[in-house]
Amino acid sequence: MLKPRFLLAAAAVLILTTGGPAPLRAQTAAPPAAAETGTPALAAPPAPLPVPLPRAEAPVIERAEAPAPRGPAGETATRTFGMSWREAWHYGGTIMWFILALSIIGGALSIYLFIILRPAQIAPRALRSELRDRLRDNDLNAARRACESRACPLSAVTLAALDYIRGIPEPDVPLLRDVVESEGSRQAEDLQSQTQFLLDLSVITPMLGLLGTVLGMLKAFGSIAQDYTAAKPVILAQGVSQAIITTIFGLAIAIPCMLLYAYFRRRAVRMIALLETAAADVLATLAGRRSP
């Protein structure tokens, strides 16, 4: 009986002489052709499409917002961007005080012109009737007292005429007319010169605003001229704000003054025409009293 080790040796010699075992066939043999098997070939299943992987989204960081201020009633107060009157006055600088002073003068002058440019202040109807009666009665002293008790442009013209005819039994009518016209022209010029102040204010206030504009621009760009690196946006903003605000306030005062001047100038023209009519009435009364 052969021993197992001799059998194993014989098997090894046999493997070496034959060239080793035959190559293994593919585990899965190719399917037979359709013609050979008689059955229709099945189509290969489609390759599965690649499924896109979901992209990793960046984490959303929420910004913490400060709570909006609330009003006294608990409602959210909306901040309105702009400039208050206090800030505008601060940015305007010293020029704003001069513009304020001119605006006060313009307001006071307008009230004054509203008061004096009235028929009751130029040639009161009661005074005209009283002068007509006194001059027709040849009561010059009573006429003088009436003029002195009521000071107005008509009283000034009548007093000039009474001063001329005092002590002259037969005054010259052309000379009397010249006296009346001269005093009337002086009173008319006085009325027109008072309205001229509004025109002056309407010219001066824009000039002050322009001066504030120049000073503001100088302040804005002066810092850049001295040191470019040291220039701050706050300084530039203040200078530009002064340049704009002074111009706005200057025009805001000048435009109403110009409109008021145009109104009072026409009103003064009407009052001068009324004074001329009343002076002509006094002159005709005096001339008719002295005529033979």
The confidence score (pLDDT) of residue 243 equals 76
Query: Using one digit for the tens of pLDDT, what is the confidence trace for 174-224?
Result: 888 888 899 999 999 999 999 999 999 999 999 998 888 888 777 767 666
| Of the candidates 201, 188, 166, the residue with the CA atom closest to the CA atom of residue 286 | 166
Mean pLDDT of 77-101: 72
CA distances from 278 to 139, 150, 201, 206, 284 (A): 19, 15, 32, 40, 10
Query: Using one digit for the tens of pLDDT, what is the confidence trace for 22-32?
Result: 444 444 444 44
The confidence score (pLDDT) of residue 92 equals 74
Please provide the average confidence, as pLDDT, over all residues in the chain: 75
The confidence score (pLDDT) of residue 48 equals 55
Mean pLDDT of 242-262: 89
Mean pLDDT of 248-273: 93
Cα–Cα dist 282/123, whole Å:
11
The confidence score (pLDDT) of residue 122 equals 92
Mean pLDDT of 242-256: 87
DSSP string, the chain: ---HHHHHHHHHHHHHHHTSSPPPPPSSPPPPPHHHH-SPPPPPPPPPPPPPPPPPPPPPPPPPPPPPPB-TTSPBPPPPPS--HHHHHHHHTTHHHHHHHHHHHHHHHHHHHHHHSSHHHHS-HHHHHHHHHHHHTT-HHHHHHHHHHS-SHHHHHHHHHHHHHTT-SS--HHHHHHHHHHHHHHHHHHHHHHHHHHHHHHHHHHHHHHHHHHHHHHHHHHHHHH-TTT--HHHHHHHHHHHHHHHHHHHHHHHHHHHHHHHHHHHHHHHHHHHHHHHHHHHHHHHHHH--
148: burial class by Cβ within 10 Å (0-12, 13-18, 19+)?
A: exposed
Instruction: Give residue 236's pLDDT band: very low, low, confident or very high (50, 70, 90).
Output: low
Q: Is the dihedral angle over the CA atoms 239, 243, 245, 246 positive or is it negative? A: positive
Query: Using one digit for the tens of pLDDT, what is the confidence trace for 127-164?
Result: 999 988 888 888 888 989 999 888 899 999 999 988 88
